[in-house]
């Protein structure tokens, strides 16, 4: 008998599965099991709308004042950037790139900015840039101040950290509307949204950085006779400069992506707006070309701030003269001035003439149309296959998806019996081999697939996720998970929440499996690694809208397109973490395994992957977070989950439903984050690996 292997946890799971099956069987009689009763839905969104109306009516002028204040600097930067001839700006940007990281980046910057000029979007690019130019410093300042506050006060930190999670997980579409209502129409909405979204990484990095300063460095500062302010500005802050600059870098990236998303509101003639209007006009070629501008801008700013973070001040007071010190600055100023004068003579250098704009957008559209017409059958086949055999079964279960119309046959009791027996037998076999958890997983999977993710009675879903949270992260996580899901039920968003989880879940699983496989390959092959790295970098700096474009082009609007776009964005972290985890295993363990005569395969599956699994789990964590971020954008192509409600809330001007649905998405993200983190942490502790990562 192997039954002694079956511990308490196993019976907990058996009980959960039994309850679920019981609930499903009596669903017919007790309607409230399958559908959360309307009578118990609390009208949170109405209350929120009332509060919002009151605020707008009573404090409106206050917010409008702030709005007016913020409008100014954006306007000024915009004026300057539009006034400068493009040739001067291009030169100066390239000079900054050179100063930050050398020739390669300078040449890249030069080509990228000239691209913006040539395709005829220079002015829009500069308008987007001016928004970033104000929002980033603002986000950095706010983030730094809050970070310092959190560093010095534990109580403040306890409030700050969870709020940061909310700021980063509530989708921007949800808070664009309240900002719009409070601050009025215009560029300021984009500014505030982008500050709200981009200050959290600055806070985190500031706190981490200040924490990481070695106590002896502080003590040596004190013993040098530093006053408190000297200690802060000359010891603490510069010692963790790198971490803080990393925060600057991340804040910049976040801000840039949000500037684009915020332009959905319109009213600005910037890149984001161009992307959206071209998408709406189905000019996919053009939208991709414009979208590239944002991607390029993100890459350049990313590399520049990163370069500055890496560079240590090569300042030598003894040997450099004044000219040496400011040489680059002088050359830049001089070059800029010369170009400025030249621009007065040759007007090409000021305004790129319309007839010289070169844009392959039309050609791309034609090519695409050709492709779609000629490969219509194949594209449809892929879509149908994925829909009938993957998405539908997971969504409504085999019992609903299998029909003569889709799979070519109907489920008979005979089929059902075989399915039940096979699954039960498989999980029992796993259980008897001591793999209790695998057995449980198979059973859960069997139930989910048969009845469909969205058809499981809501109390059971709450129970199942609660138990997962409890098993993985302890009582608090279990309780928190249940409360979080309860929120979705009480606010009346249950069905949509399940649809979000379903779409995001499939996407995350596929991304994880695909990304991890590539990561494993890359970890064993430097060539592959060198090949995927730039692709990863590009995908990560690519604005979400832009990733959407090619898929809409080929597959049109629909859930499947959303799924593909999510996968395209979310597989990147899985690659990164898998490769990182495998490449940083303790050398001795590998050597020991080799000495025991492990084959390559054994080494990989028995030693390396189990040891790297915790790090890969962090990859899964990031994959899920990326998937949720993209899910929000995927609402644009017509998905049906919470993200759609958020989007509807925005377009209908219904603040309440948007923000409630947005909170729901944040809850899903936070639960997924906490669960995967907890699992990874316990695993690392069990394996005796470095628990801080």
Partner 1 sequence: MKTSVEDRKEIKLSCRNVWKVYGARPEGFFENGNGLVKDVSSHAEKLRENDHIVANADVTFDVHAGEIFVIMGLSGSGKSTIVRCLSRLVEPTAGEIILDGEDLLKKSDAELIDIRRHKMGMVFQSFGLMPHLNVIDNVAFPLKLQGKAENECYQQAKRVIELVELQGRENNYPKELSGGQQQRVGIARSLAVEPDIWFLDEPFSALDPLIRKQMQDEFLSIQLKLQKSIVFITHDFHEALRLADRMAIMRDGAIVQIGRPVDLILNPVDDYIREFTLDVPWETILTAADIAEPSDEPLAGLGSVSEDTLIEKLLYYLGDNDRGVIVHAKDGSVLGVATARGVVKALSAGSGPDTSSVKV
> What is the x/- site pattern for partner 1, positions 207-236, by CB under 8 A?
-------x-xx-xxxxxxxxx--x---xx-
Cα–Cα dist 639/665, whole Å: 14
**Measured CA distances, 553 to 321, 372, 535, 539, 557 (Å):** 58, 9, 21, 18, 9
Cβ distance to partner 1 smaller for residue 244 or 659: 244
CA 465 to mean position of chain CA atoms: 23
229 or 588: CB nearest partner 1? 229
Q: How far apart are CA 311 and CA 100, in angstroms?
A: 8
Query: How does 127-152 read in b/e, with b if 16+ C-beta sit within 10 Å?
Result: bbbbbbbbbbbbbbebbbebbbbbbe
Q: Tell me the torsion sign for CA atoms 480, 481, 487, 490.
A: negative
CB closer to partner 1 out of 25 and 318: 318
List 317, 321, 597, 688, residue binding partner 1 (CB under 8 A):
317
Q: Residue from 28, 313, 534, 597 that binds partner 1 (CB under 8 A)?
A: 313
Tokens, residue 686: 């069990």
CB 202 within 8 A of CB 143: yes
- Using the rule CB under 8 A, is 318 a contact of partner 1? yes
| Beta carbon of residue 545, minimum distance to partner 1 (angstroms, whole number) | 39
**How far is Cα 116 from Cα 34, in angstroms, rounded to an integer?**
54
Choose one: 160-168, 171-179, 314-322, 444-452; the region binding partner 1 (CB under 8 A).
314-322
Minimum gap (Å) between residue 152 Cβ and partner 1: 17
Question: 204 or 236: whose CB is closer to partner 1?
Answer: 236
* Shortest Å distance, C-beta 127 to partner 1: 37
From first CA to last CA, the distance across the chain in angstroms is 41
What is the CB neighbour count within 10 angstroms for residue 268? 22
Nearer to partner 1, 187 or 243 (CB): 243
- Minimum distance from residue 323 beta carbon to partner 1 (Å): 19
State in angstroms the smallest separation of the CB of 236 from partner 1. 10
Q: Is 321 in the site for partner 1 (CB under 8 A)?
A: no
Contact, 574 vs 514, CB < 8 A?
Answer: yes
- Please identify, using beta-carbon distances, which residue of 181 and 222 lies nearer to partner 1: 222
Instruction: Indicate the Cα dihedral angle 515, 517, 523, 526, nearest 10°.
Output: -90
In this complex, which beta carbon is closest to partner 1, that of residue 12 or of residue 242?
Answer: 242
CB 497 within 8 A of CB 488: yes
Select 12 or 241, whichever has its Cβ closest to partner 1. Answer: 241
Residue closer to partner 1 (CB basis): 318 or 378? 318
Applying CB under 8 A, the span of 12-20, 237-245, 348-356, 667-675 interacting with partner 1 comes to: 237-245
How many residues bind partner 1 (CB under 8 A)? The answer is: 23
Residues 238-267, mask of contacts with partner 1 (x by CB under 8 A): xx-x--------------------------
Least Cβ distance, residue 208 to partner 1 (angstroms): 15
- The smaller minimum CB distance to partner 1, of residues 224 and 420, is found at 224
- Show the 3-state SS of 80-144: HHHHCCHHHHHHHHHHHHHHHHCHHHHHHHHHHHHHHHHCCCHHHHHHHHHHHHHHHHHHHHHHH
We find the least distance from the C-beta atom of residue 283 to partner 1, in angstroms, to be 50
Q: Which residues of 36-65 are buried (b: 16+ CB within 10 A; e: fewer)?
A: beeeeeeebbeebbeebeeeeeeeeeebee
CA–CA gap between residue 576 and residue 537 (Å, rounded): 10
DSSP state at residue 605: I
What's the min distance (Å) between Cβ of 83 and partner 1? 38
Minimum distance from CB of 215 to partner 1 (Å)? 8
Is 245 or 637 the residue whose CB approaches partner 1 more closely? Answer: 245
Q: How far is the CB of 603 from partner 1 (least distance, A)?
A: 35
Determine whether 667 is exposed, middle or buried from the number of CB atoms within 10 Å of its CB (0-12, 13-18, 19+): buried
Assess 311 for contact with partner 1 (CB under 8 A): no
Q: Do residues 100 and 304 touch, judged by C-beta distance below 8 A?
A: yes
* CB 444, CB 464: distance < 8 Å: yes
For partner 1, the closer CB: 219 or 351: 219
Interface region with partner 1, contact rule CB under 8 A, candidates 308-316, 325-333, 392-400, 549-557: 308-316
Shortest approach of partner 1 to residue 229 CB, angstroms?
Answer: 11
CA atoms of 14 and 25, how far apart (whole Å): 16
Sole window of 315-323, 422-430, 569-577, 593-601 interacting with partner 1 (rule: CB under 8 A): 315-323
Q: How far apart are CA 142 and CA 310, in angstroms?
A: 23
How many CB atoms are located within 10 Å of the residue 228 CB?
A: 8
| Nearer residue to partner 1 within complex by CB, 208 or 590 | 208
| Residues engaged in binding partner 1 (CB under 8 A) | 214, 216-217, 219-227, 230, 234-235, 238-239, 241, 312-313, 316-318
């Amino acid at each position: 008998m192997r039954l002694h292997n079956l511990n308490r946890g196993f019976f907990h799971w058996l009980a959960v599965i039994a309850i679920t099956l019981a609930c499903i069987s009596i669903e017919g009689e007790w309607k409230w099991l399958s559908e959360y009763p309307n009578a118990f839905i609390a009208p949170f969104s109405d209350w929120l709308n009332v509060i919002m109306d009151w605020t707008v009516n009573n404090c409106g002028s206050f917010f409008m004042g702030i709005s007016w204040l913020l409008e100014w600097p954006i306007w000024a930067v915009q004026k300057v950037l539009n006034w400068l001839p493009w040739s001067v700006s291009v030169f100066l940007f390239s000079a900054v790139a050179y100063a930050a990281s050398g020739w390669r980046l300078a040449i890249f910057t030069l080509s990228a900015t000239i691209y913006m000029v040539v395709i005829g979007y220079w002015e829009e690019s500069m308008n987007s840039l001016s928004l970033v130019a104000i929002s980033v410093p603002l986000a950095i300042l706010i983030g730094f101040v809050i970070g310092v506050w959190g560093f010095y006060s534990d109580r403040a930190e306890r409030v700050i950290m969870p709020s940061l999670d909310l700021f980063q997980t509530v989708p921007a579409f949800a808070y664009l509307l309240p900002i719009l209502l409070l601050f009025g129409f215009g560029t300021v909405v984009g500014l505030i949204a982008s500050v709200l979204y981009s200050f959290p990484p600055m806070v985190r990095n500031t706190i981490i950085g200040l924490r990481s300063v070695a106590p002896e460095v502080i003590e040596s500062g004190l013993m040098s006779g530093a006053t408190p302010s000297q200690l802060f500005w000359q010891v603490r802050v510069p010692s963790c400069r790198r971490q803080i600059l990393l925060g600057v870098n991340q804040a910049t990236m976040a801000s840039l992506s949000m500037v684009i998303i915020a332009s959905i509101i319109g009213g600005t003639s910037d890149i984001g707006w161009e992307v959206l209007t071209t998408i709406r006009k189905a000019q996919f070629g053009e939208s991709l070309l414009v979208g590239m501008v944002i991607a390029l801008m993100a890459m350049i700013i990313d590399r520049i701030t990163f370069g500055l973070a890496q560079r240590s001040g090569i300042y030598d007071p003894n040997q450099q003269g004044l000219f040496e010190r400011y040489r680059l600055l002088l050359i830049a100023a001089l070059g800029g001035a010369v170009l400025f004068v030249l621009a007065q003579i040759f007007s090409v250098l000021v305004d790129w003439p319309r007839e010289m704009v070169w844009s392959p957008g039309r050609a791309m559209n034609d090519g695409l149309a050709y492709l779609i017409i000629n490969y219509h059958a194949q594209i449809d086949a892929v879509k149908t296959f994925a829909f009938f055999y993957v998405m539908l079964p997971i969504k409504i279960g085999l019992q609903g998806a299998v029909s003569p119309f889709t799979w070519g046959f109907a489920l008979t009791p005979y089929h059902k019996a075989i399915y039940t027996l096979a699954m039960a037998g498989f999980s029992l076999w796993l259980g008897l081999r001591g793999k209790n958890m695998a057995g449980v997983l198979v059973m859960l999977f069997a139930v989910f697939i048969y009845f469909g993710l969205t058809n499981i009675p809501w109390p059971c879903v709450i129970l199942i996720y609660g138990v997962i949270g409890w098993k993985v992260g302890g009582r608090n996580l279990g309780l928190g998970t249940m409360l979080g899901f309860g929120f979705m039920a009480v606010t009346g968003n249950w069905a949509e929440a399940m649809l979000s989880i379903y779409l995001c879940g499939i996407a995350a699983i596929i991304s994880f499996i695909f990304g991890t496989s590539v990561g494993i390959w890359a970890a064993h092959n430097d060539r592959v690694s060198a090949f995927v790295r730039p692709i990863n970098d590009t995908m990560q700096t690519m604005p979400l809208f832009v990733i959407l474009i090619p898929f809409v082009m080929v597959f049109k609007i629909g859930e499947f397109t959303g799924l593909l776009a999510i996968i395209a964005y979310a597989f990147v972290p899985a690659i990164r973490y898998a490769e990182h985890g495998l490449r940083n295993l303790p050398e001795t363990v590998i050597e020991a395994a080799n000495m025991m005569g492990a084959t390559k395969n054994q080494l990989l599956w028995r030693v390396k992957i189990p040891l790297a699994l915790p790090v890969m789990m962090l990859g899964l964590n990031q994959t899920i977070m990326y998937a949720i971020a993209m899910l929000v954008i995927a609402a644009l192509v017509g998905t049906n989950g919470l993200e759609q409600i958020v989007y509807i809330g925005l377009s209908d001007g219904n603040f309440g439903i948007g923000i409630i649905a947005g909170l729901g998405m944040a809850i899903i993200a936070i639960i997924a984050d906490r669960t995967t983190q907890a699992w990874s942490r316990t695993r690392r502790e069990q394996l005796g690996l470095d628990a801080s990562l």
